[in-house]
Structure 1
Amino acid sequence: MTIATAKWTIADYHAMIAAGILDDRPVELIHGEIIEMAPEGEPHAYLSTVSGHYLAQVLGDRALVRPAKPITLPNASEPEPDIAIVQPLGREYLSHHPYPENIFWLIEYANANLSKDLEIKRRLYAEVQIPEYWVVNLQTQQLIVFRDPQNGDYNTRFTLSEGVISPLAFPDVSVSVAAIVSL
């Protein structure tokens, strides 16, 4: 006997949200499956909040820093990255969440869910050509940077624990690694 999993579309997912079915449930849509999100521990909540404020100051009005808000991807996915740095399209976001072409880069903070962020979400974001993806390993206080998406994965990966990094979208901007990873 073969067991088939029911896949949900983004429209189905939005209908469930509108109907209140998913109220008070921390979930996200990944490849048509509704996945429970791990609860945020204090370091995760603190660092993602402080880093979001820091990035907003560094980038000014060149980008919009969206903390823990959905993005809509064409592969039947609507994840909620910890931080999404997106085009500042103003009121356009009243009618849709940012699409891949609106996203400069994404950041996930990971402790218990490190393998999910390094494997599932890495491929998810690479599939839709998100140009840059950062994972903060809270256990080691390191920044893992993925760039150059091709064929469903990122070709470039490097790890930083100090210094500065310039995002691909803003090569003239220096982002302090410590401001992103240090507790």
Structure 2
Amino acid sequence: MAPSTPTALQTDTWVKATWDDFVATLDTAPYDESRGYFDNGYMRIERAPLGGGHARQNSVVSKVVSLFAMVRSLRCTEFTNGSFHKTGERGCQPDVAFYIGPNFRLPPQDNSPIDINVFGPPTLAIEIGGSSFKDDLGAKRLLYERLGVGEYWVVNVAEQQVLAFAVAEGGSRQIWVSAVLPGLELSLVEEAVGRSQTEDDTTLMRWLMEALA
């Protein structure tokens, strides 16, 4: 039986669905340009507009991670809005994700979702939470725990706050210093997000380089 693809799907909330429903929905207009999540028999299709705060803080946090990895000579690859699928079980599309460390394989540069069964889950997954902030701390956090990422960060756009969680054995606990980016204090990430409210990128990156030196 072909999966159902409702033409008036309720978006920006979790709805009961099969994996086939989830995949078919993301292949069907107008949802093919949306962000999609699937876990435990439910899917969430996000179509809410992303404002300047979300876009800016997403950019700043990814710069902090990438620059820290460069300064500390950590092997690191970033994926912005990339889809990660564990076929039949879970799917996600974090605002930004990173593979970090010496042993990961680079996924192919095509339009297919990254196959977690082949390449493993991201080492670090980050959600920038505007209207979705409560869900990022709730259902999505459970999704990333089950997926087995190394760390999960949630950025509260309104408060310029970064909440970070170490994930292990199907659960998570809040942390204040990253383990996948050894020595990176989350207070530094928060300060960068706060500075981004008034500083341009050149000024911000100059400060960050000095802080990491």
The reply to whether TM is greater than 0.5 is: yes
CA contact (8 A) 1:29 1:76 kept: no
The residue number in structure 2 matching 1:89 is 105
Residues 144 and 91 of structure 1: CA distance in aligned 2, closer, same or farther (over 3 Å): closer
Match of 1:55 among 58, 62, 65: 65
Alignment of 1:3-152 (within 5 A): 5-9=16-20, 13-14=22-23, 17=26, 22-24=31-33, 26-31=34-39, 32-37=41-46, 38-60=48-70, 62-73=75-86, 76-87=89-100, 89-90=105-106, 92=108, 94=110, 97=114, 99=116, 101-150=120-169, 152=170
Determine which structure has more spread, i.e. the larger CA radius of gyration: 2
> Relative to structure 2, which stretch is displaced further, 77-86 or 173-182?
173-182
Q: CA deviation at 1:168?
A: 1.5
The residue number in structure 1 matching 2:174 is 157
Gaps of 5+ in 1: none
Q: CA deviation at 1:91?
A: 5.0
Gaps of 5+ in 2: 1-14, 198-213
Q: CA deviation at 1:20?
A: 5.7
Residues 137 and 103 of structure 1: CA distance in aligned 2, closer, same or farther (over 3 Å): same
Q: State the distance in 2 between where 1:6 and 1:106 align.
A: 24
TM-score scaled by structure 1? Answer: 0.74
Residues 123 and 43 of structure 1: CA distance in aligned 2, closer, same or farther (over 3 Å): same
Count of aligned pairs: 169
CA contact (8 A) 2:87 2:115 kept: no
Q: State the distance in 1 between where 2:61 and 2:22 align.
A: 29
Residues 145 and 19 of structure 1: CA distance in aligned 2, closer, same or farther (over 3 Å): closer
1:137-160 C-alpha deviation (Å, 9 max, x unpaired):
12222111111433x431x214x6
TM-score scaled by structure 2? Answer: 0.65
> Relative to structure 2, which stretch is displaced further, 27-36 or 136-145?
27-36
1:14-47 C-alpha deviation (Å, 9 max, x unpaired):
45555667333x1303124442213212100111
